[in-house]
Amino acid sequence: MGECSVRPIVVNQVGYPLRGEKLAVFTGGSHQFRVVEEATGAVVLEGVSGPARFDVSCGATLHTGDFSELTAPGRYRIEQVDGAASAVFSLAERPYHELQQGLLKAFYYYRCGVTLTEEFAGPWAHQACHTAEGRVHGNELLVQDSAGGWHDAGDYGKYSGPGAKAVADLLLAYELYPSSFESAIPLPESDGVMLDVLHECKVELDWLFKMFDPATGGVFHKLTTLKFPGLDVMPEDDRAELYFSPVSAAATGDVAAVMALAARIYEPFDHVYAEKCLQAALRAWEWLERHPQVPGFVNPPDIVTGEYGDAVDTDERYWAAAELLRTTGEEKYHTAVQELAQLDYPKYSLGWADMGGYGTLAYLLRGETIADAALYATLKEGLLAEAARLMEQSAADGYRISLREEDYIWGSNMLVMNHALLLLAAEHVSGDRRYAACALDHLHYLLGRNVLDISYVTGFGDQSVRHPHHRPSVGDGVEAPVPGLVAGGPDRGLHDEYVVEHLQGKPAAQCFADHELSYSTNEVTIYWNSPAVFVAARFNLLK
């Protein structure tokens, strides 16, 4: 597996919008540069890069070249006088249309329990998988339907909380930026009536209905085999027994919230389905009310698949109350939001463990005129303060993103995209487009404007991830990986054997390996794709 060369000029390898700031990042000293039209070789702009700065996170001296004056559609590269050149990139009105389509199509490739046909999956087609019933852990005589939904990541587990986060990101993207989703992917369900993003979310929602414990109304935390299959095992060949892990408050809160959100979104298209979602949300909420104090989830001793442990469930309860308030308007949920908002937990985080940010967004999106004035003001002020903090961190970073050196953790690209999503939420509630400009810098980073000169999205960019830790991509015999998958990104903690052997002493932002064995830097998941869809959708709005 050959390593990509790192060019001294890095750009967003997909492209830039016609209007707004356009920057390339150079390593080394200051340089004269020129922008060259790919087709003709004509020089269309010349410039000089700005002052250099040493960036600790990436371990390099960096400076930027501004080519914002160029606004003509086309394909270009940036060159230095010594002949060094960047990737070729596009300038277009909607440069991220195909990217958004690919990021969303990835969820189709993650589908479980159905045959992915060549018509829609191309060379990445495979047979139906994991169609057997699952056993309830601790009550193995009880079996129930477990098929459907999305595989969570590079393995074949399915997890209620992370699945709810992914659906929430996609539904919020549709709610805020519906015109960005008008083009069909297409999917087998495409019908010209309901947009494909809603068809795809329904795949996961239909599976989440199956995660309810019929005896209690709580939600099983996850559905997995006892251990992971081999890295080259295709999904249809993974035939080990499936187990529903015990109910957790975190999973139950997440599912209550996302079902309440879905009830609103699907109501104009299918009243019966929307009502089913609402009833599921109410059932989960009733379980939460009956179980105010619940221990955090930990894996049963004989299950060694991903735990997604979560010791604090207050944030999930807050999100559930806020979504139920927004959907039903009932005052009891308003009271619950007000009470839960007084407790101490992150209220602006959008990660699978800390879901409080979704509760805050639900409350703010409901509208100021029907909110508690003091609470609305506090939450809005807090959101904008967090967004301002991210902007300040981005301004201090050589690649204009909000990660500090210590933020290059396992799944750092989730932070990159979650931060961008939060910045866009701040834009939505404030009208200040500076937040969007900062969010776009985060997308530039994901697509190649980074110290490794790599696009972290498979199939997009001339030096994109080629060898993700993703079982179908390893086992299918197809040279190219499944496209549209977001890789986890640099992890300074060196949490797998491959990077321990190969990346010792590297700066934080360089602790990434495009190798199938590097599960801590190069795995993929649905909830790294979902905020990327949201961000791409913001910059694909039809004018």
Per-domain residue ranges of the chain? 97-406
CA end-to-end span of the chain: 43
What does each C-alpha distance from 427 to 12, 302, 354, 435, 504 come to in angstroms? 22, 46, 22, 5, 40
Which residues, listed in sequence order, are joined to residue 319 by a DSSP beta bridge?
Answer: none
Which residues, listed in sequence order, are joined to residue 25 by a DSSP beta bridge?
Answer: 10, 64
468-504 residues labelled b (16+ CB within 10 A) or e (exposed)? bbbbbbbbbeeeebbbbbbbbbbbbebebebbeeebe
Is the Cβ–Cβ distance between 107 and 200 less than 8 Å?
Answer: yes
φ/ψ (deg, to 5) at 391 = -65, -40
Number of H helices, E strands in the chain: 16, 14
- For strand 53-55 and strand 222-224, is the pairing parallel, antiparallel, or unpaired? unpaired
Between CA 467 and CA 455 the distance in angstroms is 12
What is the per-residue pLDDT for 543?
63
Specify the length of the chain in residues.
543
What is the per-residue pLDDT for 4?
65
Q: Which of 527, 446, 518 is nearest to 165 (CA)?
A: 527
Catalytic residue among 254, 313, 496, 523: 523
What does each C-alpha distance from 261 to 88, 326, 347, 359, 534 come to in angstroms? 41, 8, 18, 11, 16
Segments of the chain with pLDDT less than 70: 1-4, 543
SS3 139: strand
Q: Which of 314, 271, 269, 262 is nearest to 293 (CA)?
A: 314
SS3 524: strand
What is the per-residue pLDDT for 2?
42
The DSSP code for 244 is E
Q: Which percentage of the chain shows pLDDT scores above 90?
A: 97
Q: Any catalytic annotation for residue 444?
A: no
**Helical spans, DSSP H, in 369-411:** 373-395
What does each C-alpha distance from 212 to 139, 256, 428 come to in angstroms? 15, 11, 34
What is the per-residue pLDDT for 3?
55
Is the Cβ–Cβ distance between 247 and 256 less than 8 Å?
Answer: no
Q: Which residues are within 8 A (CB) of 539 and not within 5 positions of it... i.e. 6 or more apart?
A: 17, 94, 95, 96, 436, 440, 443
Is the Cβ–Cβ distance between 303 and 224 less than 8 Å?
Answer: yes
Between CA 520 and CA 500 the distance in angstroms is 11
Between CA 17 and CA 20 the distance in angstroms is 7
Catalytic residue among 254, 453, 476, 514: 514
Catalytic residue among 199, 469, 470, 515: 469
Which residues, listed in sequence order, are joined to residue 455 by a DSSP beta bridge?
Answer: 464
- For strand 89-92 and strand 15-17, is the pairing parallel, antiparallel, or unpaired? parallel
Q: Any catalytic annotation for residue 469?
A: yes
The DSSP code for 509 is G
What is the per-residue pLDDT for 1?
41
Is the Cβ–Cβ distance between 315 and 346 less than 8 Å?
Answer: yes
Q: Which of 100, 117, 124 is nearest to 178 (CA)?
A: 100
Query: Token digits for 202?
Result: 């329904």
Mean pLDDT over each residue of the chain, to the nearest integer: 97
Is the Cβ–Cβ distance between 220 and 213 less than 8 Å?
Answer: yes
Between CA 36 and CA 171 the distance in angstroms is 40
Specify the CATH number for 97-406; select among 1.10.540.10, 1.50.10.10, 3.40.50.300, 3.20.20.70. 1.50.10.10
Is the Cβ–Cβ distance between 458 and 464 less than 8 Å?
Answer: yes
Q: Any catalytic annotation for residue 501?
A: no
Between CA 499 and CA 116 the distance in angstroms is 33
The DSSP code for 89 is E
Query: Token digits for 77?
Result: 């590269």
The DSSP code for 18 is S
**Helical spans, DSSP H, in 42-122:** 97-109, 118-121
Between CA 147 and CA 136 the distance in angstroms is 14
